[in-house]
Amino acid sequence: MHVRVLYFAAVRELVGRDEESLELPRDVATVGAFYTYIASVHPELAGRMGHVRIARNEAFATQDEILEPGDVLALIPPVSGGA
């Protein structure tokens, strides 16, 4: 299954890119499985994924959501700031 992955803020800095297209293995069928998979693709994310939210097609996703071909997955780290 082919998906597009977008990286934001600190995650973008860690992986060194804004986005990429990935062909997921058959056993990566849910958002939860994707969390584990993406940390294996980008070892620099290992141990940090617990703080990263994933949006699937522009809506925050739950771990049990089923992935579909063509999904856009955004990795969004916690953001702080303000005035």
Domain membership flag for residue 81: no
Domain count, the chain: 1
- Residue 69 falls within a domain, yes or no? yes
Domain with residue 26: its CATH number is 3.10.20.30
Residue type, 25: P
Is 33 inside a domain boundary?
Answer: yes
Asked if residue 82 belongs to a domain, the reply is no
For residue 5, the cross-strand partners are: 20, 73
Expressed as residue numbers, the domain containing 62 is 2-76
pTM attached to this predicted model: 0.91
Instruction: Please report whether residue 83 resides in a domain.
Output: no
Q: How far apart are CA 33 and CA 79, in angstroms?
A: 24
Q: What is the pLDDT along the chain (83 residues), one digit of tens a residue?
A: 999 999 999 999 999 999 999 999 999 999 999 999 999 999 999 888 888 999 999 999 999 999 999 999 999 998 755 55
Within 8 A by CB and 6+ apart from 6, the residues are: 18, 19, 72, 73, 74, 75
Tell me the CB-side half-sphere exposure of residue 74, using CA atoms within 13 A: 11
